Structure 1
Amino acid sequence: MIIKARSISKGTGSGRLLVSEAPISFLSGVDPASGIIIEEGHPLQGVCIKDTVLAFPFGKGSTVGSYIIYALRRNNVAPAALINAEAEVIIAVGAIMAGIPMIDNLEGGFSQLQTGMAATVDGDAGELRLEDPADS
Structure 2
Amino acid sequence: MTSRRLDAELILGGAASAPLLVLREPVSFWGGVDDQDGTIIDRNHPQQGTSLAGTALLMDGSRGSSSSSSTFLECVRLGTAPAILLFTERDTILTVAAAAAWEIYGTGPTVLILPEMPDLAGVHTITVDDEGVLHARSDVEETSASGGRT
**Could you state the TM-score of these two structures normalised by the residue count of structure 1?**
0.86
Query: Take 2:139 and 2:70, find their aligned partners in 1: how far apart are those partners?
Result: 33
Any unmatched runs of 5+ in structure 1?
A: none
Q: Is this contact kept in 1: 2:122–2:140, CA < 8 A? A: no
Larger radius of gyration: 2
After TM superposition, give the deviation of residue 43 of structure 1 in Å: 2.1
The answer for the alignment partner of 1:62 in structure 2 is 65
Matched pairs, number: 132
Code of the residue aligned with 2:114 in structure 1: it is N
1:114–1:31 CA distance, 2 compared to 1 (3 A)? farther
**Kindly, what percent of the aligned residue pairs are identical?**
33
Shift of 1:62: 1.2
Q: Distance in 2 between the 1:115 and 1:12 partners?
A: 22
Unpaired runs of 5+ residues, structure 2, are 102-107, 142-150
User: RMSD of aligned C-alpha atoms?
Assistant: 1.9
- 1:53-132 superposed matches below 5 A: 53-98=56-101, 99-106=108-115, 109-114=116-121, 117-122=124-129, 125-132=131-138
Indicate conservation of the 8 Å contact 1:5/1:127, yes or no.
yes
Asked whether 1:30 is paired with 2:39, we answer no
Runs of 4+ residues deviating >6 angstroms:
none
Distance 2:123 2:135 in 1: 13
| Residue 84 to residue 26, structure 1, CA distance change in 2 (3 Å) | same
TM-score normalised by structure 2 residue count: 0.79
- 1:90 maps to a residue whose letter is I
